[in-house]
Chain A
C-alpha cells in the first residue's frame, strides 16, 4: 500500500474529496462538487470548464484504473490547483499513457464508453501545467494548474 502522501495533510487545500475505485455509481460526483465550488467563487466560465474536464477525467481514472484516492482543490487569486492522487497499480510509461488512444481499460469498461485513451490528453489540453508522478505498484499523482486571468 502506498504511503500517505504529504499533500493529504496540507491544510492549504480547501477541499478534499475521496474517490473509490470501481464505484461507478458515484462516478462524477467529485468533479461535480468541484465545479459547484468554482461556480460559487464566480470564476470565469472557461476556467470552470477546463477545471471540470480535468477533475472529471482524473476522477474517472482513479475509479477505472486505481483502488482508491482523492481529489484536492486549492484556489488562489492567480490560479487553481487540482491534485488527484491514488493508491493503485501506477503507470509504467507515462509518455505512452499520455498518447491519444492509448488505453488499458478492459472490455466491459469500454462498453460503457470509457477507454478512448483521451482522458490524460484532455487534462493536458485543459491545464496550463500538468505534472504526473507515478510509482508502479504504489500509485499515481497528478498536479493540474489552471491560471485564472
Chain B
C-alpha cells in the first residue's frame, strides 16, 4: 500500500506536513513507539512509524532506518525545524488528531501489519 492511499483514507484523518515527494512510497509494515532506541532496534525498512514525538530527531531515525514515513498522532504539531529537515531529507510526515491507539488500530484494519521479521520475533 502506498502512503498516498493512506492519505486518502478518511478514517485516518491524515494531514500531510512534509515530504510530499515520498507519497508513492510503499508501506511494508508498521511500528509504534516513542522511545527512539526501541525504534532503532526494532523498526524495519519500509515501516510506517506512529509516534507522539515531534522533534527533529525523528527525521534522523527515519532516514537511518529508511522508514516509509512517520505519523505524529494525538494532535501534536511538529516544530518547523522538524518539517524543514524532513522536506530536505525526503521523509514524509503526517499528523492526525486521532490518538496513537486509534491510528494503529485503523492502520491494522487497512491491512498494515508489523513487519515480518519482528512479528516472527514476537511469536518467539
User: Of A25, A35, A113, A116, which contacts B64 at CB under 8 A?
Assistant: A35
User: Of A27, A49, A116, A119, which contacts B60 at CB under 8 A?
Assistant: A27
In the complex, the answer to whether A125 meets B41 with C-beta atoms within 8 Å is yes
- Complex CA distance for A114 and B38, rounded to whole angstroms: 10
Q: How many A-B residue pairs have CB under 8 A?
A: 65
- Residues of B within 8 Å of A112, CB to CB, are 36, 53, 55, 57
- Complex CA distance for A52 and B62, rounded to whole angstroms: 11
Question: Does B56 belong to the interface (CB within 8 Å)?
Answer: yes
Interface string of B54-66 (1 = CB under 8 A from A): 0111011101110
Question: Does A57 belong to the interface (CB within 8 Å)?
Answer: yes
Question: Does A89 belong to the interface (CB within 8 Å)?
Answer: no
Q: A69 to chain B: closest CB distance in Å?
A: 17
Question: Does A53 belong to the interface (CB within 8 Å)?
Answer: yes
User: Of B45, B64, B81, which contacts A32 at CB under 8 A?
Assistant: B64
Task: Classify the interface of chain A: helix, strand, loop or mixed.
Answer: helix
In the complex, the answer to whether A118 meets B37 with C-beta atoms within 8 Å is yes
Total interface residues in chain B, CB < 8 Å? 20
- Complex CA distance for A125 and B41, rounded to whole angstroms: 9
User: Of B34, B59, B64, which contacts A52 at CB under 8 A?
Assistant: B64
Interface string of A105-149 (1 = CB under 8 A from B): 000000011101111011001000000000000000000000000
- Residues of A within 8 Å of B1, CB to CB, are none
- Complex CA distance for A52 and B61, rounded to whole angstroms: 10
- Complex CA distance for A121 and B59, rounded to whole angstroms: 22
Closest to B60 in A: A28
Q: Which of A1-55 contact B (CB under 8 A)?
A: 24-25, 27-29, 31-32, 35, 45, 49, 52-53
- Complex CA distance for A118 and B41, rounded to whole angstroms: 9
Q: A97 to chain B: closest CB distance in Å?
A: 13
Contact A24/B41 with A32-B63, A32-B64 known, Cβ cut-off 8 Å: no
User: Of B40, B57, B63, which contacts A53 at CB under 8 A?
Assistant: B40
In the complex, the answer to whether B53 meets A116 with C-beta atoms within 8 Å is no
Question: Does B35 belong to the interface (CB within 8 Å)?
Answer: yes
Q: B34 to chain A: closest CB distance in Å?
A: 5
Could you tell me which B residues sit within 8 Å of A by CB distance? 34-38, 40-41, 45, 51, 53, 55-57, 59-61, 63-65, 81
9 contacts between A and B (CB under 8 A): A25-B56, A27-B60, A32-B64, A53-B40, A112-B36, A112-B57, A114-B36, A116-B37, A116-B38
